[in-house]
Amino acid sequence: MSVRVPTPLHGWRAFIGEVGVIVLGVLLALGAQQLVQDVQMRSAVREFRRTINHEIGLNLFVYQVRTRGSDCNEKRLKELTDWVMSARDGQSLPKIIAAAPMTLSPYRSAWDTRDGDVFAHVPAKDRQKYAEFYDELESNSLIIQKELDEWLQLQRFALPGPVSLEDRRMLYGHVRTARIFNRVWAPNMDISNKIAAELGVKSIKPDTVSDELLKQVAVCQPTFEQPEGKDVAVGSAARS
């Protein structure tokens, strides 16, 4: 028994030609779709980088505001240290102005809501730098919070009155820790500024920050509340 293979209506050559046209059409359609997807992805990457660079610029300004208070903060904490080291049991503690350095809240919504697929299409070197910057941001935010906690502990000494040895030990511990956090700020800023520079990002002032607020940052508050017409004694002069 013989089996006959169906023959195309217009012959094999015409059939193969028709199949080839279909395959070519499918390939062209797939290629066009891929091209559109590539264009859309490149656009998404550009928009992501524009947004994340803006957010980093805002954070650089946040850092600058905190850095402006570092010298004043060190001066105030040193005065507190000098008083504690020279005081004795029963000596009256002047009223402390327990105000931490002014800080602004960091920005990270763009980073926290990033699309993983879009981020994967950012060049590898830049992906690494973005991750490094936000790792530093996390660490710096923790430092700011811990520094604020130390100043909150110092508020218990805002009321003037006699202090004991235990009081002075507690006061010294909080002041020393606050000074450590203040002193690590500058080198940490060098790291973040270097990362931002490698990404080509500069500081951006937030629209919500007024010039009046920045003027307040420039004012260095005294360490102790000074009664009108009197100077608070610090150091060896504080002994009675």
Q: What is the pLDDT of residues 162-202, one digit of tens each?
A: 888 898 999 999 999 999 999 999 999 999 999 999 999 99
pTM assigned to the model: 0.78
Q: What is the pLDDT of residue 16?
A: 66
User: How far from the centroid of its chain's Cα atoms is residue 175's Cα?
Assistant: 24
Q: Which residue has the higher pLDDT, 136 or 91?
A: 136
User: Does 56 fall in a domain?
Assistant: yes
Q: What is the pLDDT of residue 123?
A: 93
Q: Token digits for 171?
A: 């006061």
User: Does 7 fall in a domain?
Assistant: no
pLDDT tens for 37-57 read 666 788 999 999 999 999 999
Domain, as residue range, for 61: 12-238
User: Does 44 fall in a domain?
Assistant: yes
Give the model's confidence band at 149: pLDDT under 50 very low, under 70 low, under 90 confident, else very high. Answer: very high
92: three-class secondary structure by DSSP: strand
Query: What are φ and ψ of residue 92, in 5° steps?
Result: -80, 125
Give the model's confidence band at 29: pLDDT under 50 very low, under 70 low, under 90 confident, else very high. Answer: low
| pLDDT surpassing 70 at residue 160 | yes
Radius of gyration in angstroms for the set of CA atoms belonging to the chain, rounded to a whole number? 32
Q: How many domains does the chain have?
A: 1
Show Cβ contacts of residue 190 under 8 Å, excluding neighbours closer than 6 positions: none
Q: What is the pLDDT of residue 144?
A: 93
Place of tokens 């507190």: 80
User: Does 2 fall in a domain?
Assistant: no
User: Does 177 fall in a domain?
Assistant: yes
User: Does 41 fall in a domain?
Assistant: yes
Show Cβ contacts of residue 179 under 8 Å, excluding neighbours closer than 6 positions: 74, 77, 78, 81
Q: Which alpha helices (DSSP H) does the chain contain, by range?
A: 12-68, 70-86, 109-112, 116-120, 124-154, 165-198, 211-218
Cα angle value 205/222/215 (rounded, 5°): 25
Sequence letter at residue 101? P
pLDDT tens for 76-121 read 999 999 988 888 888 888 888 888 898 999 999 999 999 999 999 9
